[in-house]
Amino acid sequence: MQKDYPILEFDPAPKAIIEPAELIEAADVPDHCVICFFGEILEKVCQAYGARCINENYWEDGPHHLYEIEVDGQRLALLHPGVGAPMAAGLLEETIALGCKTFIACGGAGVLDRDVAVGHVLVPVAAIRDEGVSYHYLPPGREVTPSLEGIAAIEQTLQKHGYEYIQAKTWTTDAPYRETPAKVALRRSEGCVTVEMEAAAFFAVAQFRGVTFAQMLYGGDDVSGDAWDQRDWNRQTSVRERLFWLAVEACLSL
């Protein structure tokens, strides 16, 4: 099993020493869950809809809450996954163990093409695995894909409301401060349109656990040139709220 590089030492054993389903007791939670990176939008929605906290997962940085709201008579769970693949994957694992089965995530991403406007909607159809988490869930490989049914639900929702979007390959990396010009050029040559920190891990965990998972992104900061252009990407409140509700509709349609 030993390889030249530890990241390649995939073990297909289905059970780990710390197994989420044994650590966490399944609960009465919604089947559907929207994973949202926009903390200010989650806070607003939870207040407006009288959300109740249905679970607290305690990590070293404090509790991570799983909320429930009702939308058009349907139960829906809401989760902020933190930032970065390890935490996002761990919180997804725990939410699956609780009983959620269908996930749509929404977040922002850096763009590798400056022609992708701030706020433009992107639907990842594959992720380059330039992080570490996915290699513990799937054999070594260059890419991982989300659930086809999840992609279809997102696209149907966007088309229903007349939103233009881009089917995109995304680059998932653990090191935002090491997105060098050469690396950006390489990923662009592979067809990547965006860069973020979680998608490949999300998709790998979902495949391993047999749940439905897809993701929506919006065009954020620009890393396509020699200098970073922040483009006020994280202040796009209306874009973020709109993307959240599109994710809700897509999730509940599954």
List, for residues 20-50, the tens digit of each pLDDT value.
Answer: 999 999 999 999 999 999 999 999 999 999 9
Q: Could you tell me the pLDDT band of residue 226, with boundaries at 50, 70 and 90?
A: confident
Residue-level pLDDT at 49: 96
Domains of the chain and CATH, by start? 28-252 (3.40.50.1580)
Mean pLDDT of 142-150: 98
Q: What is the DSSP string of 52-104?
A: EEEEEEEETTEEEEEEEEEETTEEEEEE---SSHHHHHHHHHHHHHHT--EEE
d(CA 174, CA 215): 18
Residue-level pLDDT at 106: 98
Residue-level pLDDT at 73: 97
List, for residues 149-196, the tens digit of each pLDDT value.
Answer: 999 999 999 999 999 999 999 999 999 999 999 999 999 999 999 999
Q: β-strand 62-71 against 52-59: which pairing, if any?
A: antiparallel
Q: Is the pLDDT of residue 58 over 90?
A: no
pTM to 2 decimal places: 0.97
